[in-house]
């Protein structure tokens, strides 16, 4: 089982929010994050395009501190939950957990 923890602790800006996904989800590459030639442009469309069917069976993605983000990131929190719920339904290899 592979566990990937996206830690939102201390995030205060939208830029910081999107940056949290790069290392733990394997979006590392150039400055903006690159996987197999695709640039992670720090938006939800780019995130979705890169994470769908990317992970091995048994992968657990933990979203830590998501519910503790500042109010001005409420839209990001809502959309993140929608995206990872959809990911879990479409990619049976992935389990998503939430941690405070």
pLDDT tens sequence across 6-38: 999 999 999 999 989 988 988 765 445 555 555
Pair 32, 42: CB distance under 8 Å: yes
pLDDT tens-digit series, residues 62-75: 999 999 999 999 99
Q: Which is nearest to 98 in space by CA: 86, 73, 80, 76?
A: 80
Q: How far from each other are the two terminal CA atoms of the chain, in whole angstroms? A: 21
Write out the two tokens for 63: 């979203």
Q: What is the pTM of this model?
A: 0.85
Q: Residue range 42-49: average pLDDT? A: 82
- Percent of the chain whose predicted confidence (pLDDT) is above 90: 58
More confident: 92 or 30: 92
More confident: 77 or 23: 77
- Give the chain's domains with CATH numbers: 3-99 (3.30.370.10)
pLDDT at 76 over 90: yes
- Percent of the chain whose predicted confidence (pLDDT) is above 70: 85
pLDDT of residue 83: 95
CA–CA distance, 53 with 31 (Å, rounded to integer): 23
Write out the two tokens for 5: 């923890």
Instruction: Determine the angle formed by the axes of helices 44-51 and 74-90, rounding to 10 degrees.
Output: 20
């Amino acid at each position: 089982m592979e566990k990937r923890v996206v830690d939102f602790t201390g995030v205060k800006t939208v830029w910081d929010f999107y940056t949290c996904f790069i290392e733990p989800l394997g979006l590392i590459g150039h400055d903006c994050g690159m996987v197999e030639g695709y640039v992670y442009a720090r938006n939800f469309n780019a995130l979705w395009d890169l994470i769908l069917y990317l992970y091995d069976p048994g992968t657990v993605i933990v979203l830590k501190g998501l519910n503790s983000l500042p109010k001005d990131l409420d839209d990001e929190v809502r959309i993140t939950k929608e995206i990872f719920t959809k990911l879990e339904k479409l990619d049976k290899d992935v389990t998503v957990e939430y941690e405070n």
